[in-house]
Structure 1
């Protein structure tokens, strides 16, 4: 990897209100990936927040977070400040820049720029100001580059695409021994609003009623947990599917890779404007095609009938029919889709995208 031979020792201040902890290891992992890529060649100071259990702890954490930002920004000197999720610090940073000029790179991740409610929407005008002051704006996908150009009046030349640290190529890769895959269709995502788990469950119910013979030869899995887990279980019970769907709690990446390898398709029915949809890319890297909405950043890499199938957001019947079509692919056509999946993922592997991030920083 070329990045290993780059020596450019910059002092960089990294700021983020999301970062993993021992208790919440998956919270803000993409921020950690980006930070690790920069640490190989630069001297970093991190001002970050980890997830808190209650509102009081969260408020206290934000108070300390802002005090640290003011202190280190004004009293220390850095070659560059790299900010993740600018909406939560844009107000204060617009003030600080009046006191002390500084080269900035802003890294947006999706919800901070497309939100229709909450603090992200309230802070939008400040976020737009700080993005215009930044030397570069980093986005996770082409979808968000186009969105920012259209909605934030930024020129394309200052926007760079860096897919959230990329796919872990040591874990998510084509298996050494390729075996014939069973008819397993796996939903891998959080069980939260907008993730499409309900559309997937209803699609399974539709298949059971409308394609009973096909239903018997298919296996359905749900891997994940979240705020709507209990609601999901009730829906499965109402639709008499408790004995027909394998439920697995959230798992570490190594186990997820195993599940993806065993699956014929990964179902990713998100209704949200996903920043990238990393689980989709992880699936493709393993040689497992997708059945997905292509919402948000997913549209950057999912091509219908090339590396998977696309269906209409929230349409369980359309999803059910796509699953049936996928199950009836010839061996030759499925093999082509597997090859296309692996080929698509190469541009998103960590060993390739990290080099691009370093070059982006060096040019700043």
Structure 2
């Protein structure tokens, strides 16, 4: 098969887990003998590059690349969104690529930065279309269902409603199949009446399992946070909870970058036990998971299916997480981790305190974490995707 993946970011340009997932899938599909094309954004026009036998088109399609979005002022952000909504330039450039490459199937992942018109374009060319939702971009301009105060948005304001109505006209009824890593996201779409005509499939994120003989030590209890240092990810919740737990044998490792980096450093400045490592990936990141006794995912937004949980499980590291969004579909209380009420500093502090005083409880959770990881083996994911692709191609034929 000839498969085209459309993703607003692709390594080495990385902001979150979605682009890592796309890279894993594309690399594995190429290894299985399929011809792979990637269409992604960039700040420079590179008509065509190659990596791992994958053809990559990196296109400048807006006034600045999405990877720089958080550095912009409000006016430039609004202008970027308006251009992205109906970006005729993006439509033309992506159309040229798709007509030239003539893929058997197109699979859209995160699309902000490549224009909402990408959906219409694929159907205009009468190509089979799969869409994977990594967040809530199709129903929220901020993609996370949070308002300007970083609270769950219960009622959209008038500009958001207009934006989403236009976006809906361009997206709805276009994908043949919509997948998401969690049931929660698909139910959110269903509650909004979106993608009624599309087949919907829950497809957890893929991970590459390796033979891990990861023996933990408990002289020091190492607590790990991995993610964007943004308020909706909840790093401030974790730091406040950690500061309530006494003990010199505790360490909190913060891995990531983001708009609230300096604010988080100030919040933790009086606690020498808190260590900031910056952005890590690859072996250095996996070494952090192996070293950690527990990973904390303190999200205050409807987290979809965070890669942090999957990666932690690979290394037999239990997860303490907010019971929100799709997270409870991964983390089972008392089996591979613990769940706590989103934003509840005291409840999280109590869990961390219990772990620090009785680290033996982690041993059972470590076994559960490792067993859980086996359900998400990339081989199972790829077999499911190939079946989806072949079914759509046969229907079209």
Q: TM-score, normalised by structure 1?
A: 0.81
Partners of 1:322 and 1:300 in 2: CA distance = 20
Unaligned runs of 5+ in 2: 45-59, 66-79, 144-158, 393-397
1:49 counterpart residue number? 41
Q: 2:258 aligns with which of 187, 204, 226?
A: 226
Inter-CA distance 95–338: structure 2 relative to 1 (3 Å threshold): closer
* Alpha-carbon offset, residue 202 of structure 1: 0.9
Q: CA RMSD in A?
A: 3.3
Tell me if structure 2 keeps the 8 A contact 1:90–1:127.
no
Partners of 2:92 and 2:326 in 1: CA distance = 34
Q: Counterparts in 2 of 1:85-124, with a 5 A limit? A: 85-86=110-111, 89-91=115-117, 93-94=119-120, 97=123, 99-115=124-140, 117=142, 122-123=163-164
Confirm or deny that 1:207 pairs with 2:214: no
Partners of 1:120 and 1:275 in 2: CA distance = 21
1:184 counterpart residue number? 222
* Alpha-carbon offset, residue 120 of structure 1: 8.9
Q: Counterparts in 2 of 1:1-364, with a 5 A limit? A: 10-21=1-12, 28-39=19-30, 40-50=32-42, 56-58=63-65, 65-74=90-99, 77-86=102-111, 89-91=115-117, 93-94=119-120, 97=123, 99-115=124-140, 117=142, 122-123=163-164, 126-127=167-168, 130-154=171-195, 158-164=199-205, 166-170=206-210, 174=212, 176=213, 178-181=215-218, 182-208=220-246, 215-237=247-269, 240-241=270-271, 243-329=272-358, 331=360, 333-364=361-392
Inter-CA distance 362–228: structure 2 relative to 1 (3 Å threshold): same
Partners of 2:354 and 2:174 in 1: CA distance = 49
* Alpha-carbon offset, residue 155 of structure 1: 5.4
Partners of 2:221 and 2:99 in 1: CA distance = 59
| Count of residue pairs brought into register by the alignment | 340
279-288 or 30-39: which moved more?
30-39
Inter-CA distance 41–328: structure 2 relative to 1 (3 Å threshold): same
CA deviations on 1:129-172 (whole Å, 9 max, x unpaired) are 634232211212222222223323445981122334x12324xx
262-271 or 250-259: which moved more?
250-259
* Alpha-carbon offset, residue 43 of structure 1: 2.4
Tell me if structure 2 keeps the 8 A contact 1:21–1:50.
no
Q: TM-score, normalised by structure 2?
A: 0.75
CA deviations on 1:68-107 (whole Å, 9 max, x unpaired) are 222234566432222223565433543663x542321112
SS at match of 2:300: coil
Unaligned runs of 5+ in 1: 1-9, 209-214
Partners of 2:382 and 2:62 in 1: CA distance = 35
Between Structure 1 and Structure 2, the one with more helix by share is 1
